Amino acid sequence: MPSVIIIGAGFGGLGMAIELQRNGFREFTILEKAADLGGVWRENTYPGAACDVPSPLYSFAHEPKPRWRQRYATREDIWEYMRGIADRHGLSDHLVFGAEVTEAEFDETTGQWTVHTADGVARTADVLVSAVGQLSRPAMPPIPGIGDFGGKYFHSARWDHDVELTGKRVACIGTGASAIQYIPEIQPRAGQLTVFQRTAAWVLPKFDTDYKPVHQRILVEIPGMPVAERLSWWLLAEFVALGLVEFPGIVRGVSRIAEKHLEERVSDPVLRAKLTPDYPIGCKRGLFSNDYFPALTQPNVTVETTAISEIVPEGVRTADGALHEADVIIYGTGFKGTEFLWPMKIRGRGGRILSDVWDGGAHAYLGLTVPEFPNMFMVYGPNTNLGVGSIIYMIESQTHYIRRALQLLGERPRTYLEVRPEAERAFNDALQKRLARTPWNFCTSWYRTPSGRITNNWPGTTRSYRRRTRDLRLSDYTFTSIRG
């Protein structure tokens, strides 16, 4: 069996490792730059951090957890789940922490990858699997004067728990998926909370509930109940996903639910107008919350929609010249989602640099592999993110496919595997045509590069992706003999 290096110990890296282990692979190493596993669920410690996918679906099919504390699991519960599955599968012997990958290059004479880490160590393996995800690098906005602010400031993904917010003037810049979770948590403590909103979000009610002991007991004691619960949420997500491409009437129905949600929770017509999106639902990530709108209606909260012109020592200055004084600024401005694998330098066959190949936007065959980069695969790569559904389901499809590729390499010693350029090109041409029919084209979001190319999302259901990745078509690949 080929040896494998996996980069990243989040859901993708753990899923890949478990898939290899369950199929007889023993020579694999997981390189993790941090001091613990968990990916975004380790890093994001902001108040109220939780998943917006129901917990029965946000877990591996082969590793169900019947005792989730609530329907939409908190960050702590998810991180506990991840550590638990790593322990159960004995992955500690394969994990290397504090190993930040800086570069990797493929050697055609040996058919191996050499992976370099920031501590100066070089490791070799037959196969390289990147599982660094799409939402691992916080994005600070290009606002002039950020460093001039006289108070404390931080990104929500690097929450500074030593900063006291009680009674303070707090400026929150950004109203995305993280902000709608931490704003309701910090609003009661802040003296004055100013929320700077560039674009309003489509917010849906969150049908959350605590899982009582009786519910947990039912899931444990009645055969088939965990599967049935997971299946019901999966079917609902698949139904809504159809509306993004095939049946727009579904999406229009969802938008009416969001409009009613806003109307019921915000009575002030001026504030409601500010919070009403001016783009089609689905264009940006849909959000779920029951307490975000109520928090914005509180007397210590102001929603500011005038564009920010600069950060000054005293606070935030908007384009109308107004100064909004602040003691603390929190940037809930998302992640650099389109910069896949950056800042790692990946050199493939002939010395090709992956960032050069991706100069016009990242692309890959099935989101998994790129021509001229043999024996290299990605988990949660380009165009495998979802507008609706669970990324865990997608990760399972990807790890099954990669495992099959590795088994084929094991059956053909001293060869390396590479996707054919024509196969990758045909896949991406069809993909872009399908993406052109989605709502993601009608606004600016982290799904798109500055040039407008959609590099993140899969335009379809998770079931359609699983069908595409169920079998590896040998005609799409070449096996090259190693002559060295």
Kindly report the CATH number assigned to the domain that includes residue 373: 3.50.50.60
Same domain, 277 and 354: no
Q: Where residue 242 falls among pLDDT bands split at 50, 70, 90?
A: confident
Of 50-64, 203-217, 370-384, least confident by mean pLDDT is 203-217
Q: How far is CA 462 from CA 188, 388, 391, 392, 395, in A?
A: 39, 9, 9, 10, 10
* Cα–Cα dist 245/239, whole Å: 11
Q: According to the model, what pLDDT value does residue 338 have?
A: 64
Domain of 115 in residue numbering reads as 4-136+336-481
Same domain, 312 and 373: no
Number of folded domains that form the chain: 2
Burial class of residue 15 in the structure, from the number of CB atoms within 10 Å of its CB (0-12 exposed, 13-18 middle, 19+ buried): buried
With contact defined as beta carbons under 8 Å apart, do 302 and 183 qualify? no
Q: Which of 271, 299, 331 is the last residue of a domain?
A: 331
Q: According to the model, what pLDDT value does residue 484 have?
A: 63
Q: How far is CA 399 from CA 12, 59, 385, in A?
A: 8, 14, 15
Task: Give 215 or 353, the one with higher predicted confidence.
Answer: 353
Same domain, 52 and 79: yes
Beta bridge partners of 35: none
Q: Where residue 337 falls among pLDDT bands split at 50, 70, 90?
A: low
Task: Give 135 or 267, the one with higher predicted confidence.
Answer: 267
Same domain, 109 and 36: yes
List CB contacts of 328: < 8 A, sequence separation 6 or more: 151, 152, 153, 163, 165, 168, 169, 170, 171
Q: What is the pLDDT of residues 15-69, one digit of tens each?
A: 999 999 999 999 999 999 999 999 999 999 999 999 999 998 999 998 888 788 8
Answer whether residue 158 shows pLDDT above 80.
yes
| Cis peptide, bond prior to residue 374, ω within 30 of zero | no
Q: According to the model, what pLDDT value does residue 134 have?
A: 76
Tell me what the mean pLDDT of segment 252-277 comes to. Answer: 95
Percentage of residues in the chain with pLDDT exceeding 70?
Answer: 99
H-run or E-run covering 75: helix 75-88
The one-letter amino acid code at 255 reads S
Answer whether residue 443 shows pLDDT above 80.
no
Task: Tell me the pLDDT of the chain averaged across its residues.
Answer: 92
With contact defined as beta carbons under 8 Å apart, do 7 and 13 qualify? yes
Residue 376 within any structural domain of the chain: yes
Residue 131 within any structural domain of the chain: yes
Q: How many Cβ atoms from other residues are within 10 Å of residue 5's Cβ?
A: 25
Same domain, 436 and 389: yes
Greatest Cα pair distance, the chain, in angstroms, is 73
Q: According to the model, what pLDDT value does residue 38 have?
A: 95
Q: According to the model, what pLDDT value does residue 213 have?
A: 83
Q: List, as one string, the DSSP characters of 169-221.
A: EEEEE--STTHHHHHHHHTTT-SEEEEE-SSPPPEE-----B--HHHHHHHHH
Q: What is the pLDDT of residues 69-108, one digit of tens each?
A: 889 999 999 999 999 999 999 999 999 999 999 999 999 9
Q: How far is CA 95 from the centre of its chain?
A: 22
Q: Where residue 143 falls among pLDDT bands split at 50, 70, 90?
A: very high
Same domain, 284 and 371: no
Q: How far is CA 379 from the centre of its chain?
A: 11
Tell me what the mean pLDDT of segment 340-361 comes to. Answer: 90
Q: According to the model, what pLDDT value does residue 6 have?
A: 98
If we measure between CA atoms, which residue out of 38, 41, 36, 40 comes closest to residue 74? 41
* Cα–Cα dist 272/253, whole Å: 20
Q: According to the model, what pLDDT value does residue 84 have?
A: 95
Residue 213 within any structural domain of the chain: no
Tell me what the mean pLDDT of segment 470-475 comes to. Answer: 95
Same domain, 301 and 168: yes
Q: According to the model, what pLDDT value does residue 222 have?
A: 79
Q: Where residue 442 falls among pLDDT bands split at 50, 70, 90?
A: confident
Answer whether residue 211 shows pLDDT above 90.
no
- What is the pTM (predicted TM-score) of this model? 0.93
Residue 269 within any structural domain of the chain: yes
| The pair of three-digit structure tokens given for residue 25, joined into one six-digit string | 């692979």
Tell me what the mean pLDDT of segment 116-125 comes to. Answer: 97
Same domain, 406 and 340: yes
Same domain, 170 and 310: yes
Same domain, 410 and 319: no
Q: Where residue 240 falls among pLDDT bands split at 50, 70, 90?
A: confident
Q: Which of 315, 331, 347 is the last residue of a domain?
A: 331
Q: How many Cβ atoms from other residues are within 10 Å of residue 218's Cβ?
A: 15
Residue 239 within any structural domain of the chain: no
Same domain, 157 and 108: no
Q: According to the model, what pLDDT value does residue 215 have?
A: 78
Q: Where residue 243 falls among pLDDT bands split at 50, 70, 90?
A: confident
Q: Which of 331, 346, 380 is the last residue of a domain?
A: 331
Same domain, 269 and 393: no
Residue 252 within any structural domain of the chain: yes
Tell me what the mean pLDDT of segment 189-195 comes to. Answer: 98
